[in-house]
Chain A
Amino acid sequence: MLKTEKLVKAYGEGELRLVVLKELDIEIQDGEFVAIIGASGAGKSTLLYQLSLLDDPTSGEVYFDGIRTANLTEMEKTELRLHKLGYVFQDYALLPELNAIENVALPILMHGCSRAEAFTMATSALERIGLADRKNNLPSQLSGGQQQRVSIARAIAHHPKILFADEPTANLDSGSARVVLDAFLDLHKEGQTIVMVTHEEEYAHSAHRVISLKDGTIMSDKTQSRHSAKT
């Protein structure tokens, strides 16, 4: 579904040029739960931005469902992100003026659904992650873990092909982090393709496949046998 060929991302020029990703070749198939792990500065988030079409590579290619993304206009990429991709950001990224259900319904409204349809789908997404009873709460009225779960609901409400998560547990205590990871595992069981960036090995091992990065290079790419994440 998602594929890179000799993906390079560099910043700056000449002597100041910094190559963050060094000719990466990655393939992600439907239904995989991939964790990208590495130390700070390894290029994890940079890789995620390339895979999720938020950024353009310096060289190399990214293919989504066989489509060469370099050929896409900015508008087409926005459309692709809206319809096919979902995002969970590190710091929840909920709009403070919208309550939980409104935050989840917002991208659905962009699909052209009516308000009633959007809110029905949003309620369903919140129920999937167990927060339907908090749908009328503003983000300021939710805990960190609850906000992150609302963010997950927003990302999955429109049934994306791939769900990208950038350090989803970074700002959470271990208890809340566990809850979030359990949500991801439940989604994966339902067939959701997930690509998650994390620097926590413990959480990475909850995934089906772990790609380890160091200095912009893949050090290892292991598919592990699944065990229950709910220890």
Chain B
Amino acid sequence: MRVGWFLAYRQIKRSGKWTTGLIIFIMVLTFLNLVVVSGLLVGLISGSFKQFREGYSGEVIITTATGRDYIENTPALIGFLENHPWVEALSPRYGAGAQVLGTLTDLPDKDKRANRINIRAVGIDPIREEALTHFSRFIMTGENLVSGEEGGVLIGANMLRKYSSFADANIPGLDFLDDVDVGSRVRVTLTQKDGIVQKDFIIRGIVKSKVDEISTRMFMLDKELKRMLAINQEQVQEIAIKTDYAKAGALVSDIKNFMGDYEARVQTTDEAIPSFLRDIESTMNILGSALSSFALIVAAITVFIVVFINAVTKRKFIGIMKGIGISPSAVQFSYIIQAFFYGIVGSCIGLLLTFGVLRPYFDAYPINFPFSDGILVATLTGAGVRVAILLAVTLIAGYVPAKLIVRKNTLDSILGR
């Protein structure tokens, strides 16, 4: 092994810089392919999860239990959460199904539908919501709700034909409000168990996000919606909680312990994400790995060819080394070290680029997809696995051609036969 190291070090040190640089460059590209391709594909979905978490749900979300209309024991629960050391912010939200009528001045023609949509109305405290999600960043036009200033609503852009991304899709059952914009007066109707409640509001602003819960809902002050609800006015329908991601599971346990027999669904955001989305994430991971495997094959072939050509052109010298007593395994080992060198240097540069440049870049400037902001999902563990795979493949690709050449007859190699 010492002789192998001795040979390899000097061969690397005194080899052509451009050739060495090119091979390392190929290794870097292969590594990036291994990590970045699958990372971006997974990031398409993970980006939407991240946006959902940061833009709506927080790390823990409490919703109504199956068959219930509200979260039981809401006031005590909110008190508990406000005093919990792990809770960084929370936003209790009222929710109810509502109808919004966009045209108040004219009756619709007999053969035309009214300018009306069904929508989920959400009552929020603007200050709490801002602390949780920086809600104001979703306002594309108009202004935010202000505590104490009643009579205004924010409406999701996808519910307005003028702003919706789906306006030209002509999907049956998908309705939009026409001619509604900031400043328009709309009539909100809540259908309750003991009758309907109606009230007119002014559109204060229009909100838009890739999070569906933002772009397809209507937001008003929590106190206003609370007054429109007939019963159980102290019980909310949803509480979003911001906490450390690593502590989310433990916080869920604490909340459940506090709730005892009171009914509510308490989940981390990861648990709340539908399984089909998780399946899509897994599929993207598999797809990314499959695509990356092609890059791995290319890298293996490249290393094989480089080592093979190197060994073939030095076949005479390999024969001479064997002739003067250098063991074949020492010669083979020197080529394996060279292949390993290409792999390890390429991987190190790839790691630096991935975690030092690409991941921060995509975090700051995600890829703009219609349904999510695509981020680069890359973990040190995952990258470490890929480094190990790349090195293993590189070692094999270096060993095989070296073995093929070194095992040739010594005298034939010396004489070039």
**B15 touching A55, Cβ below 8 Å:** no
Given A54-B411, A97-B11, A87 and B2 contact (CB-CB distance below 8 Å): no
Question: In the complex, how many residues of chain A place their beta carbon closer than 8 angstroms to a beta carbon of chain B?
Answer: 27
**A82 touching B324, Cβ below 8 Å:** yes
**B325 touching A54, Cβ below 8 Å:** no
Residue interface bits B311-331, CB-to-A below 8 A is 1, else 0:
000001100111111111010
Minimum distance in angstroms from A44 CB to a CB of chain B: 14
Minimum distance in angstroms from B186 CB to a CB of chain A: 81
Residue interface bits B323-360, CB-to-A below 8 A is 1, else 0:
11111101000000000000000000000000000000
Interface residue ranges of A213-230 to B (CB < 8 Å): none
Let me know if A102 is at the binding interface, CB within 8 A: yes
Let me know if A205 is at the binding interface, CB within 8 A: no
**A110 touching B326, Cβ below 8 Å:** yes
**B3 touching A110, Cβ below 8 Å:** yes
Task: Chain B residues near A89: list those with CB within 8 A.
Answer: 320, 414
**A109 touching B6, Cβ below 8 Å:** yes
Interface residue ranges of B1-42 to A (CB < 8 Å): 2-3, 6-7, 10-11, 13-15
Cross-chain contact of A98 among B10, B328, B410 (Cβ < 8 A): B10
Cross-chain contact of B320 among A78, A79, A83, A93 (Cβ < 8 A): A93
Let me know if A208 is at the binding interface, CB within 8 A: no
In the bound assembly, the distance between CA atoms of A87 and B325 in angstroms comes to 10
Interface residue ranges of A60-114 to B (CB < 8 Å): 75, 78-79, 81-83, 85-87, 89, 93, 95-98, 102, 106-107, 109-110
In the bound assembly, the distance between CA atoms of A71 and B11 in angstroms comes to 36
**A109 touching B2, Cβ below 8 Å:** yes
In the bound assembly, the distance between CA atoms of A28 and B2 in angstroms comes to 35
Task: Chain B residues near A81: list those with CB within 8 A.
Answer: 323-325
In the bound assembly, the distance between CA atoms of A73 and B11 in angstroms comes to 30
Let me know if A49 is at the binding interface, CB within 8 A: yes
In the bound assembly, the distance between CA atoms of A75 and B322 in angstroms comes to 10
In the bound assembly, the distance between CA atoms of A44 and B87 in angstroms comes to 91
In the bound assembly, the distance between CA atoms of A89 and B2 in angstroms comes to 25
**A83 touching B324, Cβ below 8 Å:** no
**B411 touching A110, Cβ below 8 Å:** no
Residue interface bits B385-417, CB-to-A below 8 A is 1, else 0:
000000000000000000000000011001000
**A106 touching B6, Cβ below 8 Å:** yes
In the bound assembly, the distance between CA atoms of A61 and B257 in angstroms comes to 91
Cross-chain contact of B324 among A75, A97, A107 (Cβ < 8 A): A107
Task: Chain A residues near B11: list those with CB within 8 A.
Answer: 97
**B325 touching A82, Cβ below 8 Å:** yes
**A97 touching B15, Cβ below 8 Å:** yes
Task: Chain B residues near A85: list those with CB within 8 A.
Answer: 325
**B317 touching A93, Cβ below 8 Å:** yes
**A154 touching B411, Cβ below 8 Å:** no
**A154 touching B6, Cβ below 8 Å:** no
In the bound assembly, the distance between CA atoms of A110 and B328 in angstroms comes to 11
**B324 touching A154, Cβ below 8 Å:** yes
Task: Chain A residues near B327: list those with CB within 8 A.
Answer: 75, 78, 110
Task: Chain A residues near B6: list those with CB within 8 A.
Answer: 102, 106, 109, 115
Task: Chain A residues near B2: list those with CB within 8 A.
Answer: 109, 115
Interface residue ranges of A112-166 to B (CB < 8 Å): 115, 138, 154-155
In the bound assembly, the distance between CA atoms of A110 and B323 in angstroms comes to 13
**A106 touching B323, Cβ below 8 Å:** no
Task: Chain B residues near A49: list those with CB within 8 A.
Answer: 411
In the bound assembly, the distance between CA atoms of A98 and B323 in angstroms comes to 17
**A102 touching B323, Cβ below 8 Å:** no
Closest residue of A by beta carbon distance from B410: A54
In the bound assembly, the distance between CA atoms of A107 and B331 in angstroms comes to 12
Given A93-B317, A110-B330, A87 and B10 contact (CB-CB distance below 8 Å): no
Minimum distance in angstroms from A106 CB to a CB of chain B: 7
In the bound assembly, the distance between CA atoms of A43 and B322 in angstroms comes to 23
Closest residue of A by beta carbon distance from B2: A109
Closest residue of B by beta carbon distance from A109: B3
In the bound assembly, the distance between CA atoms of A28 and B316 in angstroms comes to 29
**A102 touching B10, Cβ below 8 Å:** yes
Minimum distance in angstroms from B140 CB to a CB of chain A: 65
In the bound assembly, the distance between CA atoms of A76 and B15 in angstroms comes to 33
Residue interface bits B78-100, CB-to-A below 8 A is 1, else 0:
00000000000000000000000
Cross-chain contact of A107 among B10, B13, B326 (Cβ < 8 A): B326
Minimum distance in angstroms from B13 CB to a CB of chain A: 8
In the bound assembly, the distance between CA atoms of A107 and B324 in angstroms comes to 7
Minimum distance in angstroms from B51 CB to a CB of chain A: 55
Minimum distance in angstroms from B94 CB to a CB of chain A: 77
**A83 touching B10, Cβ below 8 Å:** no
In the bound assembly, the distance between CA atoms of A96 and B7 in angstroms comes to 11
Residue interface bits A45-58, CB-to-B below 8 A is 1, else 0:
00001000011000
In the bound assembly, the distance between CA atoms of A53 and B317 in angstroms comes to 18
In the bound assembly, the distance between CA atoms of A82 and B410 in angstroms comes to 14
Task: Chain A residues near B411: list those with CB within 8 A.
Answer: 49, 54-55
Of the candidates A78, A85, A115, A154, the one having the most CB atoms from chain B within 10 angstroms of its own CB is A78
Between-chain CB contacts (< 8 Å), 12 pairs:
A49-B411, A54-B410, A54-B414, A78-B325, A87-B323, A89-B414, A93-B320, A93-B414, A95-B7, A96-B14, A107-B324, A110-B3
For the complex with contacts A97-B14, A110-B330, 11 further pairs of A-B residues with Cβ separation under 8 Å are A55-B411, A75-B327, A82-B326, A83-B325, A86-B324, A93-B317, A93-B414, A97-B15, A106-B326, A109-B2, A110-B326
Give the 6 A-B CB pairs with smallest separation, nearest first: A82-B325, A97-B14, A93-B320, A81-B325, A54-B411, A97-B11
